[in-house]
Amino acid sequence: MKLNRKYLPPAFFNGSQPYRWAVLLCLLAWAVTAGACRQPSVEGILRIGLPEEPRTLNVWLASDAASRTVLRQIYQPLYEDDPETLEPVPWLAAALPVYDAARLTYTITLRPAHWSDGTPLTSSDVAFTARMIQEFKIPMLSSRWKQVERIETPDAATVVVHLKRPLATFLSRTLEAAIVPAHQWEPIAQAARESAKPLAYLLNYNMKDPVGSGPFLFKQWRRGDYLYLQRNPHYFATGQTIADRKMGPYIEGLLFKVYGTTDVAMLALRQGDIDMFWQGIQPGYVAILNKNPHIKVFDSQKSALYYMGMNTRRPPFSDVHLRRAVALMIDKGFLVDRLLQGRGTQLFSIIPPGNRQWHNPDVPRYGEGLKYRERLRRAYELLLSAGYSWEMPPFGSQGDIQSAKGLRRPDGTPMGKVIILTPPADYDPARAISGTMIQEWLQALGIPAMARPMEFSALIDQIKNRRDFDAFILGYGRLSIDPDYLGSFFESSGDKTRGLNTSGYRNETFDRLAEESQCAMDPVIRHQMIMEMQRIIMEDVPYVPLYVPNMIEAAYTARFDGWVPMLDGIGNRWSINMVRPTSGRHD
């Protein structure tokens, strides 16, 4: 082998043989390291942009969107929502579970499947996952399994779950949790049990090489740059037909690239450096993206809720008449048209219309279709009939609109200043501006309202912990398909420090329906209960639903196509299984 002198130090040729061997070994180590850090070839690999670095590969700790996005390609659930009907369909399971009402059991049969290291996936893995969630009380998951009494595994493909009581959400919520491999996690769990703080040990465990059952397996992570997942040769669904779709994946891998800002990510998308950006984008980007013939913009409905909440524990919003008047004054169409640029939907119920199975359209729809004058007139007449009075009402003697002032409550006390807390504009401009607009509409009625932006963590503390507020504007960006959250938001038992019933709403009829709906195993009866619960809430309006923005996403289709749109967008398991290389020349 001939060595080029210009790449080696003079001492290499003048020094001893051991020295030369040491230099050669160093060069070899450098070459191996450089090769390991090199970004994989993009041929057949789907490149996905992420807005931030994933924080962990520990499935129990993953609360950030980027980590969940990556881990959803590695770990799989027993059931997944159908992209069209939104009904649960068998995923790792071979069929829908069989419920035995007399024994309070669900029997689940598994598909033949393997973990990414080739180990068979069995009923023992399902039982281990459930017991681990229960034993360590894993946040966000343990509440879904608290009604499970015990689990039996009569054979490798059968799981029998015994419940403490009927649980209507068992299939749609509990059984959609990701299943983990017992052979990888049992030693970690044992070490956690022996530690001083078992849950903390488990959550802080640095998982470097997760073993999963998904379409891809972990291969490489270069922090700050990219994370690479390779096609899993043991993936159970490849070639299978699930929900009338023949499953892939039809690609060789996923390359997640981190972008610090949406502007940089959109430039990368337009240039074809990434094939999709896994995050909703603002409407302002759509026009420039549409100019590129290789980019397809997807506009999907979201399962989300953006709303104004009112503190029903104290005046002035302890009065339902005032809450209804506020709901009448808010022009939701204006908010959607101006703030969301028309890419959104007005909300009139807590469950959004995109959730077709559970949304109730037949609720009070305050102010819908009314012009400003008519909204003001109806709100004024509502308060007048409830005993409110003004020094100067919003309408003069000739019916002309005038500046209202001196509003007094039915007991004669002056209406005090009403503060509407909002996130700051740099957190969410739509919610911040909504607060300002609502302030103006309420002032027109004589309510001395003022919007006050507040740093987000301080805002949450003020509402959930201190519970010291008049009103606020917040949102839930991703609600589950199953509407069990409806009870959590408004049951009296949730009116406590750090509880989800932030408005302090209390209604005995609603509480009874919420409790009964959790145990209603007849889907028709449960559906009727959920419809009635929505009607009750919108009669009493502790929350005024405002809008739900569309999920706007974009994909570069010159290399890959086949994305599957559904509620909450194309970033879903179905898309990853169905996306395939486009035919013809790739750019």
Do residues 359 and 349 lie in contact, with contact meaning Cβ atoms separated by under 8 Å? yes
Kindly state whether residue 90 falls inside one of the protein's structural domains. yes
Least confident of 18-27, 235-244, 404-413, 567-576: 18-27
> Do residue 481 and residue 390 come from a single domain?
yes
Answer for the pair 480, 173: CB distance below 8 angstroms, yes or no: yes
Cis peptide before 316 (omega within 30 of 0): yes
Kindly report the three-state secondary structure assignment for every residue of 499-553: CCCCCCCCCHHHHHHHHHHHHCCCHHHHHHHHHHHHHHHHHHCCEEEEEEECEEE
Q: DSSP per residue over 110-178, as a string?
A: BPS-B-TTSPBP-HHHHHHHHHHHHHHT-TTTGGGGTTEEEEEEEETTEEEEEESS--TTTTTTGGGSE
Helix 508-519 and helix 523-540: axis angle, to 10°? Answer: 160
Is residue 13 a part of any domain in this protein? Answer: no
Instruction: Please check whether residues 358 and 482 belong to one and the same domain.
Output: yes
Query: Can you tell me the distance from the alpha carbon of 219 to that of 209, in angstroms, rounded to the nearest whole number?
Result: 8
Helix, strand or coil, per DSSP, at residue 554: strand
Determine the Cα–Cα distance for residues 193 and 180; give it in Å rounded to an integer: 18
Please report which helix (H) or strand (E) contains residue 77, including its range: strand 76-77
Q: Which of 30-39, 363-372, 473-482 has the lowest mean pLDDT?
A: 30-39
Q: Is residue 112 part of a domain?
A: yes
Query: Is 66 inside any structural domain?
Result: no
> How distant, in Å, are the alpha carbons of 85, 328, 351, 436, 440 from that of 369?
30, 11, 20, 21, 19
Last residue of a domain, one of 176, 203, 230: 203
- Compute how many other C-beta atoms are within 10 angstroms of the C-beta atom of residue 250: 19
In tens, the pLDDT along 102-129 reads 999 999 999 999 999 999 999 999 999 9
Task: Tell me the C-alpha to C-alpha distance, in Å, between residue 105 and each of 161, 441, 558.
Answer: 5, 54, 50
Helices (H) and strands (E) in the chain, counts: 17, 25
252 and 393 share one domain = no
Q: What is the pLDDT of residue 260?
A: 86
Judge contact between 503 and 543, C-beta under 8 A: yes
User: Which one of 168, 203, 238 terminates a domain?
Assistant: 203
Contact of 539 with 268, CB cutoff 8 Å: no
Q: Are residues 263 and 312 in the same domain?
A: no
DSSP code at position 3:
P
Chain-centroid distance of CA 63 in Å reads 10
Q: How far apart are CA 363 and CA 114, in angstroms?
A: 48
The residue range of the domain holding 562 is 216-301+551-581
| DSSP for residue 408 | B
Give the CATH number for residue 223: 3.40.190.10
What pLDDT is attached to residue 31? 40
Name the band, by pLDDT with cuts 50, 70 and 90, for residue 38: low
| Predicted pLDDT at 132 | 97
pLDDT interval class at 449 (50, 70, 90) = very high
For the beta sheet containing 295-300, the strands, ordered from the edge strand earlier in sequence to the opposite edge, are: 216-222, 226-231, 253-258, 45-50, 276-277, 551-556, 295-300
- Asked if pLDDT for residue 49 goes beyond 50, the answer is yes
Q: How confident is the model at residue 37 (pLDDT cuts 50, 70, 90)?
A: very low
Whether residue 30 has pLDDT greater than 60: no
309 closest CA partner among 500, 66, 51, 515: 500
Q: Count Cα neighbours of 54 within 13 Å in the Cβ-side half-sphere.
A: 29
Question: Tell me: the pLDDT tens digits for 161-207?
Answer: 999 999 999 999 999 999 999 999 999 999 999 999 999 999 999 99
Specify whether 274 is located in the same domain as 331. Answer: no
Same domain for 262 and 309?
Answer: no
Q: Please count the structural domains in the chain.
A: 3
> Under 8 Å CB-to-CB from 123, ≥6 apart: which residues?
110, 153, 154, 155, 156, 157, 158, 159
Q: What pLDDT is recorded for position 11?
A: 52
Looking at the structure, do residues 369 and 501 belong to the same domain, yes or no? yes
Alpha-carbon distance of 140 to 587, in angstroms, equals 43
Are residue 356 and residue 493 in the same domain, yes or no?
yes
What are the φ and ψ backbone dihedral angles of 282, each rounded to 5 degrees?
A: -75, 150
Same domain, 457 and 399: yes
Q: What are 255's strand-pairing partners?
A: 47, 228
* CATH number of the domain encompassing residue 91: 3.90.76.10
For residues 297 and 309, membership in a common domain is answered with no
Question: Domain boundary at 146, 174, 203, which?
Answer: 203
Q: Using alpha carbons only, what angle is made at residue 88 by residues 56 and 105, rounded to the nearest 5 degrees?
A: 95
Residue 259 lies in a domain: yes
